Each structure stands twice: as C-alpha cells, then as structure tokens.
A and B are shown apart, each in its own frame.
Chain A
C-alpha cells in the first residue's frame, strides 16, 4: 500500500506554525540583501567579533611583545636592529583564549626572520624551519625525538605551551624565561582589544562606529574573567541579534 505524505495534519495549529515556518529570520535566500543593509546603524560590513584570518589577528593584536624581545634578544650596537641570542628561550604558559597565539603572531609579524609553527593535535609533526626566533605554538605536542633535534640546533625559541617545558629546555643548554599569561586582564586592555576589532570592521571610514565603553568591558570581565575568546563569542551573538536594527547598538543585555 502506497501512501502520500500528509503534511502535519495531525499537528496542532500552534505546532504547525512553529514547525513549518523557517525558524531563522536572518537566513539569506538566493537573492541576498544588499550588503549595506546589515547593521544599518552601526556602519559595519561584518560582525566584528567573528573569526579572523591569522594575518588579521596579528594586525589587530593588543599585546606587548617587548618583554619577550628583551628576554631573548638585544639591540645591536652597529645598526640598532634586534639580534636574537642563540640558546635563549621564552616560554608562554596559559589556558586557551588568553593570548598565547596572538603574541606569537604579533612577533611573527614584527620580525620577518621569525618562523611560526603550529603543532596540530593527533597529526604528524609538520616541517619545522629554522627561525630567528623560531616560534612554536602548542609546543607540548612536540615529539621527544623532534624536540631533541630542534633544541640541538640552539635557535632562539619562543614556545607557547600548556605544560612547563623549562626542564627539557634547560637540559639542552637554553636560558629560559617563563611567563604565565591570562592571570589578569585590565578594563583598558579589553576595551582596546574589542574596539580594534570594531574599527577593523568599519564600512564607511568617514562615519563613526559604536564603541565598547569601559563600563561594558568591566561587566564583560566580571562575567567571563580573562577568557577573551568567550567574550568575543558572547559579543558575536549579541551583535548578530541586532543585524537588522536601526537603533543604537547595545553590547550588554
């Protein structure tokens, strides 16, 4: 016996309404709206708190790398350029979302001689070039055999890690400086981090964009602590919910 499909005939009117209509009001069909029609009051071309490319992250980084540079390098008397010292290592230890990778990317952007290597989880170790300095992200994943090879080269190192690697580094003859990051986040710092993202998403450079105030930043730190990634994720949803609103952008409920 072949039966045609009944379309929710047994479903209540309320259920039918909720089940058969598209849930999202912001999905864009084949005919997309004009790009300018999103966040009409905010002058943005995109949600500022979305994912960025690696180069954008480096460009917008609000981190100080001076301490790192001072610890493993010195200014040359001859031409004033920074010279990194062999067998010097700087170790960044911290939880996810605290700025380890951002610092590494900022270093990579400032020093073209540097090499940045990200070690993926559960995948073979990628090629590791020499660098001045060599920046290794998720360095706790470096297999013992390859770690020995890298440390034997004596290249200046900056490592971002979840585990303390000072033991192996010292045994290989490195002078190690360790910084535990993410222990504090100031209101001023967070305000700048978020406002830089906002500025980078400005549509018309001649028109203003909404700004995160110090009160908003203080409230975000109260709710999320030092986890900037969670703050950005929260703000993404807040901004997205106002995609069609003409009024003033509100960052905190």
Chain B
C-alpha cells in the first residue's frame, strides 16, 4: 500500500502570532513506497476541543504538490499561510480554541497521511458583532407593557380557574395546582420587587471593553415605598458555556471562571420618593480572556445587578458585556471569516442577477467549498449567489426517499437527488423536473451536465440546493 509520512516544521513555533499574520514553515515528506499523490494540501485554521461540540474554521488552503514520489524519497516544501484573525487561542476548563497548520496528502485507495502543528494566536481586533450588546433600560413603556402583559396573563389564568371550578371542581383543583404556583413565581420574580422599587433604569455605557479597561454603567430608581435592603451589588462574571450532543442528548455545560463583586450600597433603609443613582465604574483585569461565540462554544461576560431585599424577592438584572481587543482603529484587521466571503461576494454579481457570465459554477463551488467549515461566511456566500444560473457538472449520488413535501423547490412529480460537483466535490441537492427523469436516470453514477439555478442551502445536510432547468 502506498504510504508516506508527513511532518510540519514551523519557522517560529514559539511565536505568538497576530491575526492576519503570515505563518511560514516547511512540510517534510518521507515516502515509504511509490506514491501517487493527488494533492499535498496544507491549510491554516482553528478548532475547538473540550466538552462542547467541535467548531472549526479554515483560513487558507494551498496545494503544494501533485504527482509521484518514489520509495525512500524525501521532499521538503516551503509554505506561507495566513493566520485567522479570530478567534483567539484559549485554553479553559470546558472550552479550548487552538490554531493549527494541517497537512494532508491525498492518496488514492489508501488512508490519507496527515500532520498537524499548533501555534498560538493573539488577536488585535474583535469579531464583527452586529448583535453587540446595547444599553438597556427597563422601565418606561416597555416596563409598563410587561406589567400589563403579566397582569393580563394572571387575569386570564384566574378566569380559567374560576370556570374550571364551576364546571368541574376536581379539574379546577388540578388547574389550581399548576396555575397558582406559576403565577406566584411570576409575581415573586417580576412584580414584587417592582412594587417596592418602581421602574429601574439600567444603562450599560460601555457595552464593549478591552482587558485592562473599565466597565461603566448606570443604575437608577425611585422607591415607591419605604423599605430596607441588605445590599445593592454588581457582579462581573466570566463563564464558559458549551453544548455537547444534539437533539435529546443535547447537554449544556457551564463553568464560571471569574467573578468580581462590587457592592454599590450596603444595608440601608430606602425612603419613598428618594431617588437613588449609582455610577458603576470598575476595572476589568488585563489578563482576562475575550468574549467569543463559536457555535456551541461560547465565552460570555455578564454583569449581574442585584438589589437584595430581606424577606422579599430580590430585584435582579443581567447585562451582557463584550470583552474584546481594542484595536478598532484604522489599522483594524478584519475577522477571519470576512476575507473569503467578501472576496467571493466581490467576485460574483449581485444575487438578483439572473445569469453569471463572469463566474463559472466551478469557481463558485470552490468558494463555497473553502468556506464549508465557517457557517457565517458560508451563509453570506450562499445568499450572494442565490438566484444565479450555471452550467453544472455533477456526479449523481442517490435519490431522496423523502425531501420534505413542504419544500417549495421540489417540482410537481419531480425528484430530489443528492449529487456532488465534480471538482471541488461540493455536496448538492438537485431538484429535477419530471421531464428530465430519463436523462438523469441514464446518467447513473456517471458525470451529468445540467443547467440549474441556485435556490438555497440545505442546512441539516450541508448541501447547496439547485433547481435544475429544462433546456
């Protein structure tokens, strides 16, 4: 059996790389026998490992060699690859993020030899969070709306209870056993603290902060009644949250690795109408990890505000904080997932363009194939190319027994088929009209050329959806 060994030698294995850097090194190959290599590929990227489901991303892939090696031959290939700008290297209890150089020799009819080298990456800029936390205010219209909603639900529940008692007292008792504790819980959590505190205004002034920076927020309320408190506090918490398994086996694991409690006010008596305002301003240590959201592996920072009221439900409110590098200047590097997506988006015409004269399906498929491990980038790409029509060379894999009858792409009396693009082997779902049934049946497992329009992405099976057109 053809076989060879690969090993990676980084030029600077101990260097801490910065996002967007180039990492260089040498890939050594030792062939134990005559080997026909269909592609010696090397790529840079990152992977998570630990308790959560594995998330990964590829930054750059290069083919260094295609051809023959003879037995005993030693070869060395220099490489230079881009380092992902995000996420940072991180080693925690449940979540680890590592950056890698991965090499693989594609050998027909044999296991592909592989080699991996790790390196450390420190970002200079954060991810492009469009959903970054914003200042929060509880109270005003929203606060009153919430109160009205809760009161409305309680009224409906009570009404239902009364009717149930009249119609069937036994059923009424069961309903009361369910509804009353529920209403009690809602009242305890939301309404009772509000009854004493009135509307509480919370404003997170610095939704994003860098390690070593300061968090600033405001908390204000005007008590409606006179009451005593044990304390008013703000607690900064850093937590790993990851998910393992899927479906009914899905389990969430949490590990709090950092807490920092600040007392805004100790035990005191608050008087009705005496407005209280607190300016939170406390430092974030300069050695804490950054926030990140990598599919099922998240590192989250929160500020938990609490008014501790003796013999009364506490008022609590949680603010989400983004801890990220502060390099958001003119020299800011874009996050890892951006470059390929934007390159591709620039390269292809807008989504509403009916035809794609400037780009072939092979080029489009290559972009999608290179982005297959990075969902955000992939979805942006698919969105950009949806609606475009191409000539497509496919290899038919198998027909679908069930393709979702609600699927609007399936032709009436037509077929849904799994296929692959010839090169790269991008998985496809082809929606084939009844008129072409004979044509694609005759193709069997051979190459079949069709003309089709990209209509979307099959998320569960990670396949590009293509509606085949009758010529």
Chain A interface residues (CB < 8 Å from chain B): 1-11, 19-20, 22-24, 26-36, 38, 45-47, 50-53, 96, 115, 118-121, 124-131, 134, 138, 146, 149-150, 153, 155, 236, 240, 243
Contacts and interface: CB of A to CB of B under 8 A. Distances in A.
Contacts of B285: 22
Nearest to B407: A127
B287 A29 contact: yes
Nearest to A162: B248
Contacts of B246: 118, 120
B401 interface: yes
Contacts of A33: 91, 120
Interface of B: 14, 16, 49-54, 88-93, 96, 98, 118-120, 122-123, 211, 231, 234, 238, 240, 244-249, 255-267, 275-282, 285, 287-290, 325, 397-404, 406, 416, 418, 429, 458, 460-461
A32 B88 contact: yes
Contacts of A7: 262-263, 282
A97 B265 CA distance: 49
Give the interface centre of A22, A115, A129, A236 by most chain B CB atoms within 10 Å.
Answer: A129
Contact of B281 (A4, A24, A29, A35): A4
13 contacts: A5-B278, A22-B257, A26-B93, A30-B289, A31-B122, A32-B89, A51-B54, A120-B246, A121-B247, A124-B406, A126-B404, A150-B402, A240-B93
Contacts of A27: 92-93, 238, 240, 257-258, 288-289
Contact of B263 (A10, A115, A126, A240): A10
Give the interface centre of B277, B288, B402 by most chain A CB atoms within 10 Å.
Answer: B402
Contacts of B288: 22, 27, 29-30
Contact of A11 (B263, B399, B400, B404): B263
A138 to B, nearest CB: 6
Contact of B398 (A20, A121, A129): A129
A8 B429 contact: no
A46 B54 CA distance: 12
The list of the 7 closest CB pairs from A to B, nearest first, reads: A24-B257, A32-B89, A29-B287, A35-B118, A27-B257, A10-B266, A28-B91
A28 B255 contact: no
Given A24-B92, A27-B257, A96-B248, 17 more contacts: A3-B265, A3-B276, A8-B261, A8-B263, A26-B257, A28-B92, A32-B88, A36-B118, A51-B50, A51-B52, A120-B247, A127-B400, A127-B460, A129-B397, A129-B399, A129-B418, A150-B401
Given A29-B287, A31-B16, A128-B400, A2 B279 contact: yes
Given A10-B231, A19-B260, A50-B51, A24 B287 contact: no
B413 to A, nearest CB: 15
A38 B416 contact: no
A5 B264 contact: yes
A192 to B, nearest CB: 20
Contacts of B278: 2-5
A47 B244 CA distance: 15
B259 A26 contact: no
Contacts of B89: 28, 32, 35
Contact of B54 (A4, A52, A240): A52
B261 A32 contact: no
Contacts of B399: 129-130
B122 A6 contact: no
